[in-house]
A and B are shown apart, each in its own frame.
Chain A
Amino acid sequence: MSNTRQSAGYSAWRAPILFAVLAILFVLEGTVRNSMFSGSWNTSLAILNMGLLSAITALGVNMQWGYAGLFNVGVVGFLALGGLAPVLVSLPPVENAWQAGGSRLLAALAVGVGVLAIAKLVWTRTRSGLAITAILIAGFVAYRYLFDPAVIAIEANNPSRHGNIGGLGLPVLLSWLVGGLFAAVAAWAIGKVALGLRSDYLAIATLGIGEIIVAVMKNEDWLARGVKNITSIPRPVAYEVDLQNNPDFVGFAQSWGFQAAEASGIWVKLSYMTLFLVVLLVLILLAELALKSPWGRMMRAIRDNETAAEAMGKDVTRRHLQVFILGSAVIGIAGAMMVTLDGLLTPTSYNPLRYTFLIWVMVIVGGSGNNWGAVLGAVTIWFLWIKVEVWGPALIGLLTAAMPDGPLKLHLLDSAPHMRFIAMGLVLLLVLRFAPRGLLPEK
């Protein structure tokens, strides 16, 4: 594929026209009410907001795939890890949780990291497998000795309402950066192990880390209450109820011809949209600047011919690690933003289909290697993903309308939701084969 990446040149109007078509779709969704569109601005903006977050995620994936050809199959894990940040940073502290076992918990985590570091140091010095095994076993015992009582104490603290360690009470916007940092650290650990080996290994290792991060978040109740979920994460924007009680806002809404309830929802979504757009544009600006710099040229040179780049003295593995960390950090930021938008963290909702593979379809369809392509692909595919839920059953209903009632018709009607999988797989395969450069090819 590397030789088909560079485009033969396409019309300068292509990107603006495609974005305009997309904008028209959203306007239709907001204004026209029929069997295809909902005619509600609230729905339209809700789809757009999630689409923008998908676009930021796709941007991160595009850095890894489009700039460096790294296949990350654990996007869901990095998103989930980023989602942990708003909980740990911006929730108010839980009373007595830190007194119950906070310091012991921190000590346990420090011992865990310390043991790994010592093991690494001993290995590079002595290359003795026996010493490593002894250190790791002793370290594991010490870790569990510190960790278990701390966790039991924290989880026993007001378990019906909390039972978790709680947050720091800092602004939620700060947590977006922290989310990126969490994901970057995880990416560093994975990249250090799996990069520099054959390309499939990174895919398999990221598949594993994705599953494990989600498993940890489901089962470690002290961290974010596990499957009991965290609700009421602070918002960076106004609350609907406050707006509806504000006479100035109600008057403002009426001057535009909206009911206060509907207008407050729209206002909140517009505020989120503004925040997301700012983050997205800043990230694109940075990414574009990086791509046009000598660093970006080097990255593309490495992607297109690793051997030649290595012969020119470029440290391929180090550069891959760098871009893998950067991309994962962007995914982590998006994860934190998603949780902020929802206001709740539900670890069970992180399934790989929605949060890894759908993102991949977005990147491939949009045009790998092109940041605007990733954004276009993300928002388009997200819009279709949501609307297919409405259109799919309607289509099957239409197709089966002529059929006599019976088990087969019932089966076909029931199976409409499964069509999404087939449709997504087919889109991925078809685009990969017939239009590998996507909607907006790399320039």
Chain B
Amino acid sequence: MDILNALVVFLNFVFIPAAAYGAQLALGALGVTLIYGILRFSNFAHGDTMAFGTAVVILVTWGLQSMGVSLGPLPTALLALPFGIAATAALVLATDRAVYRFYRVKKAAPIILVMASVGVMFVMNGLTRLLIGVSEYRFDDGARFIINVRDFREWSGLPEGLALRSTQALTLVVAVIVVAALFWFLNRTKSGKAMRAYSDNEDLALLSGIDPERVVRLTWIIAASLATIAGTLYGLDKSFKAFNYFQILLPIFAAAIVGGLGSPLGAIAGGFLVAFSEVAVTYPWVKVVGYLAPGYEPGGLMQLLGTEYKFAVSFVILIVVLLFRPTGLFRGKSV
């Protein structure tokens, strides 16, 4: 048995990638869950909001790079992030004014709002394509690795290497800061309390003098910031391609529903649950098992599902939750 090497392989190929991916999903799911809590519909346009925000960030990053601005070891995209957030917030506020408010005032059925969000998804998708096109872009600069494989091998003397990319570490650090700020806002500030009150009971909130339009505006701004940050981190970690952001919608929904729609804590737990299941189920375990049980020669790769079916994992999680606990792990709300 070679527990140390098995652990290094596990950390390198399962734990670190899944933790970074989980943080990105959690930020996305937080946006979905907040919108669900306040506006009471599942926002299908969230993936494309992420794509739009990231596209703006990339354009500003290119602008900054051409002016010679850089953050040294950190990616320049971090400097561009505020611009992306501002542009995305402006876009979603305009969308709310032009599209969603009408149905909100009319108290239309939630499914009509879902359908409107599908229309918004298209327009945003088209805008992103107009803005930046459909190709794949990498926009990470600065230091590539915090720990790279060779240094780790030399330092530890193990045959297996461990890599920690700077984008992965950055994702986790940023996610922790953002989540801490969000929870401080929701629990400690007056506006945050107003949001939670509105989410719990709309009529009671109105009676207490909370301005519903202000709560809705705040929600959109927060959701747009979360979407832009999540999208940028995802793009830094992997690469930016508009279509991938449509596909990530399913894992994000799964994460939000697993945690319980409307529950911020649940969204974070759900994000990590979905990410870890996805990576664990599609990872070929043969190397780890080889170190743990040296004599054992498994026939195949010990991969439960091919990587092309990674979306099936979020789907199965979704189905299981719907079957056994439709309100999610953290008791979200039901309409």
Say whether B38 faces chain A, with CB atoms less than 8 Å apart: no
* A429 touching B108 in the complex, CB below 8 Å, given contacts A204-B318, A211-B250: no
Write the A405-422 contact mask toward B (1 if CB under 8 angstroms, else 0): 000000000110011111
Say whether B147 faces chain A, with CB atoms less than 8 Å apart: no
Contact: A219 with B315, CB < 8 Å? Answer: no
Number of interface residues of B (CB under 8 A): 51
Say whether A236 faces chain B, with CB atoms less than 8 Å apart: no
**Residue of A198, A205, A433 most packed against chain B (CB within 10 A):** A198
Say whether B323 faces chain A, with CB atoms less than 8 Å apart: yes
Contact: B122 with A357, CB < 8 Å? Answer: yes
Give, as a whole number of angstroms, the nearest-CB distance from A368 to chain B: 10
Q: Which residues of B contact A2 (CB under 8 A)?
A: 109
> Interface SS of chain A: helix, strand, loop or mixed?
helix
* A418 touching B126 in the complex, CB below 8 Å, given contacts A203-B114, A207-B249, A215-B309: yes
| Complex partner residue of A193 from B102, B120, B134, B323, CB under 8 angstroms | B323
Say whether A109 faces chain B, with CB atoms less than 8 Å apart: no
Within 8 A of A (CB), among B221-245: none
Within 8 A of B (CB), among A186-207: 193-194, 197-201, 203-205, 207
Q: Which residue of B lies closest to A207 (CB)?
A: B250
Q: Which residue of A lies closest to B102 (CB)?
A: A433
CA distance A433 to B42 in the complex (A): 19
CA distance A246 to B317 in the complex (A): 59
Contact: A215 with B118, CB < 8 Å? Answer: no
Within 8 A of A (CB), among B316-331: 318-319, 322-323, 326
Contact: B122 with A71, CB < 8 Å? Answer: no
Contact: A425 with B111, CB < 8 Å? Answer: no
Q: Which residue of B lies closest to A2 (CB)?
A: B109
Contact: A71 with B114, CB < 8 Å? Answer: yes
Contact: A208 with B311, CB < 8 Å? Answer: yes
Say whether B125 faces chain A, with CB atoms less than 8 Å apart: yes
Q: Which residues of A contact B315 (CB under 8 A)?
A: 205, 208-209, 211-212
Say whether B272 faces chain A, with CB atoms less than 8 Å apart: no
| Complex partner residue of B112 from A1, A148, A198, CB under 8 angstroms | A1
CA distance A155 to B160 in the complex (A): 35
Give, as a whole number of angstroms, the nearest-CB distance from A219 to chain B: 5
Write the B254-269 contact mask toward A (1 if CB under 8 angstroms, else 0): 1001000100000000
Contact: A197 with B314, CB < 8 Å? Answer: no
Contact: B116 with A198, CB < 8 Å? Answer: no
CA distance A354 to B214 in the complex (A): 38
CA distance A415 to B123 in the complex (A): 14
Contact: B318 with A205, CB < 8 Å? Answer: yes
Contact: B311 with A215, CB < 8 Å? Answer: yes
Say whether A360 faces chain B, with CB atoms less than 8 Å apart: yes
Say whether B115 faces chain A, with CB atoms less than 8 Å apart: yes
CA distance A423 to B133 in the complex (A): 17
Q: Which residues of A contact B323 (CB under 8 A)?
A: 193
CA distance A201 to B334 in the complex (A): 11
* A428 touching B249 in the complex, CB below 8 Å, given contacts A208-B314, A418-B130: no
CA distance A205 to B102 in the complex (A): 27
Give, as a whole number of angstroms, the nearest-CB distance from A128 to chain B: 12
Contact: A212 with B119, CB < 8 Å? Answer: no
Contact: B111 with A200, CB < 8 Å? Answer: yes
Q: Which residues of A contact B322 (CB under 8 A)?
A: 193-194, 197, 201, 205
Q: Which residue of A lies closest to B323 (CB)?
A: A193
Q: Which residues of A contact B261 (CB under 8 A)?
A: 200
Contact: A425 with B334, CB < 8 Å? Answer: no
Say whether A424 faces chain B, with CB atoms less than 8 Å apart: yes
Q: Which residues of A contact B41 (CB under 8 A)?
A: 200
| Complex partner residue of B312 from A203, A215, A422, CB under 8 angstroms | A215
What residues make up the interface of B, taking CB atoms closer than 8 Å to A? 41-42, 44, 99, 102, 108-112, 114-116, 118-127, 129-130, 133-134, 246-247, 249-250, 253-254, 257, 261, 300, 304, 306, 308-309, 311-312, 314-315, 318-319, 322-323, 326, 334-335
24 cross-chain CB contacts under 8 A: A71-B114, A193-B319, A197-B322, A199-B111, A199-B335, A200-B41, A200-B261, A204-B253, A205-B322, A208-B311, A211-B315, A212-B315, A216-B309, A357-B118, A360-B115, A364-B115, A418-B129, A421-B122, A422-B123, A425-B121, A425-B122, A426-B119, A429-B120, A433-B99
When A and B form their complex, which 10 residue pairs have the shortest distance between CB atoms, in order from nearest?
A: A425-B122, A421-B126, A422-B126, A425-B123, A428-B119, A418-B129, A429-B119, A208-B315, A200-B42, A199-B111
What residues make up the interface of A, taking CB atoms closer than 8 Å to B? 1-2, 69, 71, 73, 140, 148, 193-194, 197-201, 203-205, 207-209, 211-212, 215-216, 218-219, 352, 357, 360, 364, 414-415, 418-426, 428-429, 432-433
Q: For the A-B complex with A201-B326, A211-B250, A421-B125 known, give 7 more contacts whose Cβ atoms are closer than 8 Å.
A: A199-B109, A203-B111, A215-B311, A216-B309, A414-B133, A424-B122, A428-B115
